[in-house]
Amino acid sequence: MSATVTARREPSGPPAKVSSRRLTERVFRIREFGIIAVLVVFVAVTAAIQPRFIGSQEIGFILSNTTVFALLALGETMVVISRNVDLSIGSVLGLSAYLSASLFGAHHGIPIPLVFLAGLGIGLACGIGNGLMVSIGKVPSLVVTLATLYIIRGVDILIVGGNEVVAQTLPNAFIQIPKANVLGVPYLAIAVAAVIGAGAYYLRSFRSGRDLYAIGSNPEAARLAGIPVGRRVFTAFAVSGAIAGVAGVLWAAQYQTIDSTAGTGYELQVIAAVVVGGVAIFGGSGSAVGAAIGALLLNTINSALYVLGISPFWDQAIAGFLLLVAIALDRLISVRLAAALRRRSSGVGT
């Protein structure tokens, strides 16, 4: 794979300051380059067999399917970078999707932004609950969010019962949100891309964003460095919940039929996308852009199998396989990086 070749070519460069930075930068960019390369190859091969695959209709379909996942991946990335995990997002999405969409039936003519605000509020409340238990209760996030995964889904089932929200009760303007597009590219995908870009920029360029990386990289050192670990982790969970809430509203607009199973299992697909996208599962490194591309890749595979007429049963197996490749690649890169950095003579000795 291109990643390893590049890393191998470089280490014996001149031992000046610049080359070490270039090397690390390169390796870190490669994390995303690698997955983009996989994506490009995959699209190219599929298109060669079935040219319809790169038609604007198909691309629009993939992009609009990806939006919800990519958005969820942004919140999950923040949580995973801080060496935590949020398993409750699928349930939060389901609850928010039902409650917000049923507002249209209960209050005719309710403004659409208000519905989005409601979804955001529901998600935020769930996220705050998770965040409090993790940061103040000091309960491992795996346990907390596994519990809230079931609790929120249970509440959802209690509320929904055997009902469902159907398309007829939703205003046309709402249903059109995921469909509006320019040259086949949904406006929504552009908006989500902008949000993810902003999120990635925040994580990279603001102190509180960098704190999340620091916490994930070495929690004990973060405490010693005076980083408000609890507050930052809490915020990450609150944001992840709020994003899942908004994603729920988008999900409702996209699928229009909402029962109590909406979003079931999404948490694992999103975590898969995040890890495939190069976010280290034990925190400290990775980017929101990578995670979004991970989501795009998994959805592209999904569509490609469909277009190629391969049984969708393969879909999950291939997604799982990719996950292993991503993790192996991640491990390989970090081992190589460590070796390359060790070989580089110490700055002090010179």
Partner 1 sequence: MPGNPEDAPAGQAAPVPPAGLTGPVPPPAAQATPLLSLRHAAKSFGAVHAVVDGSADLYPGEAHALLGENGAGKSTMVKMLAGVYPPDEGELLIGGAPVTLHSPAAARDAGIAVIYQEPTLFPDLTVAENIFTGRQPLRGARRIDGKLMRGQAAALFERLGVRLDPGRICRGLPIADQQIVEIAKALSLDARVIVMDEPTAALSAAEVARLFEVVRALRAGGAAVLFISHRLEEVFEICQRVTVMRDGRHVFTSELAGLTADDLVRAMVGRQVAQRAAGGRHEPGAEVLRVERLTREGVFTDVSLRVRAGEIVVLAGLVGSGRSEVARAIFGIDRYDAGMVTLASKPLKKASPAAAMAAGVGYVPEDRRQQGLVMEMSVQQNMALASLSRLRTAGLIRSAAERAFAADWAQRLRLKYGRLTDPVSRLSGGNQQKVVLAKWLGRQPSLLIVDEPTRGIDIATKAEVHTLLGQLASDGVAILMISSELPEVLQNGDRILVMREGRLTAEYPHAEATEEKIMAAATGQTEGQAA
Q: Segment near partner 1 (CB under 8 A), from 34-42, 166-174, 263-271, 342-350?
A: 342-350
Judged by beta carbon, residue 197 or residue 228, the one nearer partner 1 is: 228
Shortest approach of partner 1 to residue 224 CB, angstroms?
5
Which of 99, 83, 90 is CA-nearest to residue 244?
A: 90
Shortest approach of partner 1 to residue 284 CB, angstroms?
4
> Do 302 and 65 contact (CB within 8 A), yes or no?
yes
Judged by beta carbon, residue 181 or residue 217, the one nearer partner 1 is: 217
Which of 74, 153, 125, 110 is CA-nearest to residue 245?
A: 125
Judged by beta carbon, residue 55 or residue 228, the one nearer partner 1 is: 228
Size of the site for partner 1 (CB under 8 A): 38
Amino acid letter at 205? S
Largest Cα–Cα separation, the chain: 74
Half-sphere exposure of 315 (CA within 13 A, CB side): 17
Judged by beta carbon, residue 79 or residue 152, the one nearer partner 1 is: 79
> Do 252 and 165 contact (CB within 8 A), yes or no?
yes
Buried b (16+ CB within 10 A) or exposed e, 103-129: bbeeeeebebeebbebbbebbbbbbbb
- Rg (the chain; Cα; Å): 21
Shortest approach of partner 1 to residue 335 CB, angstroms?
10
CA distance linking residue 2 with residue 329, whole number of Å:
11
- What mask, x for binding partner 1 by CB under 8 A, covers residues 187 to 226? ------------------xxx--xx-xx-xxx-xxxxxxx
* Residue located via tokens 């983009």: 36
Interactions with partner 1, residue window 264-303 (CB under 8 A):
280, 284-285
Phi-psi region of 284 (alpha: psi -120 to 50; beta: other; left: phi over 0): left
Backbone angles phi, psi at 186, to 5 degrees: -65, 140
Which of 109, 66, 127, 100 is CA-nearest to residue 258?
A: 100
Shortest approach of partner 1 to residue 228 CB, angstroms?
7
User: Is residue 172 packed enough to be buried (19+ CB in 10 Å), middle (13-18) or exposed (0-12)?
Assistant: exposed
Shortest approach of partner 1 to residue 66 CB, angstroms?
27
Amino acid letter at 54? I
Residue 339 is a binding residue for partner 1 (CB under 8 A): yes
Collapsed DSSP state (helix, strand, coil) of residue 165: strand
Residue 138 is a binding residue for partner 1 (CB under 8 A): no
Q: Segment near partner 1 (CB under 8 A), from 29-37, 90-98, 101-109, 335-343?
A: 335-343
Judged by beta carbon, residue 226 or residue 265, the one nearer partner 1 is: 226
Shortest approach of partner 1 to residue 221 CB, angstroms?
4
Judged by beta carbon, residue 138 or residue 342, the one nearer partner 1 is: 342
Amino acid letter at 333? I
Judged by beta carbon, residue 53 or residue 213, the one nearer partner 1 is: 213
CB atoms near residue 232 (< 10 Å):
20
Collapsed DSSP state (helix, strand, coil) of residue 185: strand
Interactions with partner 1, residue window 21-80 (CB under 8 A):
21, 24-25
Residue 228 is a binding residue for partner 1 (CB under 8 A): yes
Shortest approach of partner 1 to residue 33 CB, angstroms?
18
Shortest approach of partner 1 to residue 233 CB, angstroms?
15
Residue 136 is a binding residue for partner 1 (CB under 8 A): no
Residue 249 is a binding residue for partner 1 (CB under 8 A): no
Shortest approach of partner 1 to residue 334 CB, angstroms?
8
Shortest approach of partner 1 to residue 76 CB, angstroms?
18
Question: Would you tell me which residues interact with partner 1 (CB under 8 A)?
Answer: 17, 20-21, 24-25, 205-207, 210-211, 213-214, 216-218, 220-228, 280, 284-285, 334, 337-342, 346-348, 350
